[in-house]
Amino acid sequence: MKLFKKNLGYLFFGFIIWFPVVVLIVILKVILDSIENIGHSIIAIFAPDKFIYSGFGILLVIILCYITGIILRRTKVGDFFAKIPVLGILLGSKKGKSLSLEVLAKLTPCLFLLSPTCISPGWIISEEKVKLKEEYVSFRLVNVYYPNVPTLVTGQVFSVRKETVMKIGNSSSEMIDLLLYASRTPENITYLPWENENAEEFKERAKLFGII
């Protein structure tokens, strides 16, 4: 009886290992067969069956998907479909880029006032003029990306007044290391003024961040 239970246990653990593998193989076979049949049906419109070999259907579907991807990403057709709900989420704009560590590494790091008493690290995405009715107001807004540690690329975007954002001269990779690995701190943090900001204005604004 013990020998039977022991061998039954071996059988059970072997089944646990192979069952998902077999299910995956079956699903892939069904998908590939379906793609082959679809491609075969399309080719059959233009060529006799005797000229259609196994695998031609899958090859045709791959080529069609590739051509479709080029059309959606490199022509105005993609812009049209990007305006359609749901499809627009999937396609996005061919001119835009999803946020990734690679994109983040090219942005300018900064500190910004998440609240009057909370200074937070972030990255500058863009700067915008603000219009009130038909006239531009004196201040500008800066779109700042606020990272979600430790994933970094699942954060939020805040629009904050330009004077509450302090540009950092350190590289993005240094700031990423600082956020992910507290022990990898840069030797110094360099703060930069905005363009056309004189020394006095910079010093006055730096007081908001407790720098001076």
Q: Is residue 33 part of a domain?
A: yes
pTM above threshold 0.95? no
Q: Are residues 112 and 71 in the same domain?
A: no
Q: In the structure encoding, which two tokens stand for residue 41, read together?
A: 């049906």
Expressed as residue numbers, the domain containing 108 is 101-209
Q: Quote the CA–CA distance of 126 and 142 in Å, as a whole number.
A: 6
Model confidence at 88, in pLDDT bands (50, 70, 90)? low
> Could you tell me if 52 and 140 lie in one domain?
no
Over range 119-139, report the average pLDDT.
Answer: 88
Residues 64 and 109 in one domain: no
Number of domains in the chain: 2
96 inside domain? no
**143 and 69 both lie in a single domain:** no
The answer on 106 and 38 residing in a single domain is no
Q: What is the pLDDT of residue 60?
A: 93
Contact 130, 137 (CB under 8 A): yes
Give the domain-ending residue among 70, 91, 112. Answer: 91
Show the DSSP H helices in the chain as ranges. 2-44, 56-74, 76-82, 87-91, 101-104, 172-180, 199-206
Long-range residue pairs from 56-61, CB within 8 A, at least 24 positions apart, any chain: 58/32, 61/35
The pLDDT > 90 percentage for the chain reads 41
Within this chain, do residues 86 and 171 fall inside the same structural domain, yes or no? no
Amino acid 71: pLDDT: 87
Phi-psi category of 132—alpha, beta or left, where left has phi over 0 and alpha has psi -120 to 50? beta
Residue 75's pLDDT band (cuts 50, 70, 90) = confident
pLDDT tens digits, one per residue of 43-73: 999 888 888 888 999 999 999 999 988 888 7
* pLDDT band, residue 187 (cuts 50/70/90): confident
Q: Verify that 72 and 117 share a domain, yes or no.
A: no
Final residue of a structural domain among 72, 91, 110: 91
Kindly state whether residues 19 and 42 are assigned to the same domain.
Answer: yes
Domain-terminating residue out of 91, 112, 141? 91
